[in-house]
Amino acid sequence: MSKRKVVVIGAGPAGYVCGIRLAQLGQDVTVVEKQYWGGTCLNVGCIPSKALIAAGALIERIKHADAMGIQVSEPKLDVAKLVEWKEGIVTKLTGGVASLLKNYGAKTVLGTAKIVGKGKVEVTGEGGNQTLECDDIVIATGSEPINIPGFTCDEKDVWSSTGALKPTAIPAHLAVIGGGYIGLELGMMYAKLGSKVTVLEATSGLLPGQERDCVKVIERSAKKMGITVHTETFAKSYERKGQKLVMTIEKQGKKETFECDQILSTVGRRPYSKDLGLESVGLTPTKQGFLEVDKQLRTKVPGIYAVGDIAGQPMLAHKGSKEGLVCAAVIAGQKDEYDARCVPAVIFTAPEMASVGLTEDQVKEKGIEYKTGQFPFAASGRAMTLMETDGFVKIISDAKTDEVLGVHMVGPEVTELIAEAALAIELGATVEDIARTIHAHPTLPEAMMEAAEAVHGMVVHIYQKPKK
């Protein structure tokens, strides 16, 4: 196949990965980014949030070090230095992305892109306008925070996740609108850094859509941390009174008010598709803002592809990166398609939570006969040495075939452990495959093996009543 000219719009985890792979495959590629290399994830999302979360976790460990006989004074936080350290990580990673694109021969343009016709992308930047002509266009524009009425994110009184990652001081009382994974990750982080935290969630529980057994552990942990959680509650308005913000909320039909120092709105994100010129080529996003694509990431318009958040749920960086790789291969003439059996989800709360595959509720809805096995970290020697024994590993299997259908974890470093579970589902492994695999001792992954044994009623390190 002859070399194709490709323009990738957006340099987040979907776009830059697609651009690098296209260049590796010998294509003539130009990546256009309107703001910063690495996109939301590297600059104001996944990476900086995990840096600050790591800082909060370290402070928490220091506070409990006396249990190990380590005597330390109360830790003091230099907020400016913490933010500077976080920014240093971001700078290294984003600089690395730009260097990789250049080293592989991809051209880069900083500016705002707009599709102006078939195979034509107009870019407006500091140097003026230019039109890029190409054979294929890849739309990888990511997503943006959703604003709710009365709570526009001005990054002053009302933070989005972006503002929450650049604090100049730790707020005395932080009100978090939204009890999903972003709100809880940041809310728990600020609680560890010294804030009083109030979480407002519209549904009946935190982390809607996640495995409920795991969520219960997170809810108990939030309570232990002193976080106030209001469920079935809606944020209605706020006003500034001196140094305080007075929020009005509606809880089960009744209005209440309370004071806080900072508001963080984390009610979700929507695909970024405005002012892209989609109408010029006959593309119309769905009601939710997504572009419909096939397994090769093709939109309905020949020569135009979409990857990442704009290509549909789940809106996760690693899903976008995988789509970027597939899209590049397809454009380069290789036989490939997006056929992932599962996409892992990781949540950096305290304790951490991770899931892959079907939840127990989903298995029930599908009418599948199933079995479950669970192993608590309270019985893990390694978890004890880390002083992190809350949580468990839960495996859901097909009762007839023994195939692994879903794995859900809550506890220490489960965001790392979930990779084994994802591989098991991707390979069509059985529970017995996991149980018979020797896991190193003493390690946290042993909990995966023990949970597999528990499915069959043969776990060694906890007592199970024999099944009749």
Q: How far apart are CA 10 and CA 14, in angstroms?
A: 8
Q: Which backbone phi and psi does 121 adopt, to 5 degrees?
A: -125, 125
Q: Which residues contact 355 (CB under 8 A, 6 or more apart)?
A: 210, 211, 214, 344, 345, 406, 407, 408, 409, 418
CA 124, 103, 50 angle in degrees (round to 5)? 75
- Separation between Cα atoms, residue 355 and residue 421, nearest integer Å: 9
Sign of the dihedral defined by the CA atoms of residues 119, 30, 324, 35, in that order: negative
Q: Where are the alpha helices (DSSP H) in 303-430?
A: 317-331, 360-365, 381-385, 414-426
Catalytic residues: 441
**For strand 392-398 and strand 370-376, is the pairing parallel, antiparallel, or unpaired?**
antiparallel
Q: How far apart are CA 180 and CA 267, in angstroms?
A: 8
CB 404 within 8 A of CB 424: yes
Cα 436 from Cα 453, distance rounded (Å): 9
Q: Using a CB cutoff of 8 Å and minimum separation of 24, what contacts does 85-91 make?
A: 85/51, 85/55, 86/48, 86/51, 86/52, 86/165, 87/48, 89/47, 89/48, 89/51, 90/38, 90/42, 90/43, 90/47, 90/48
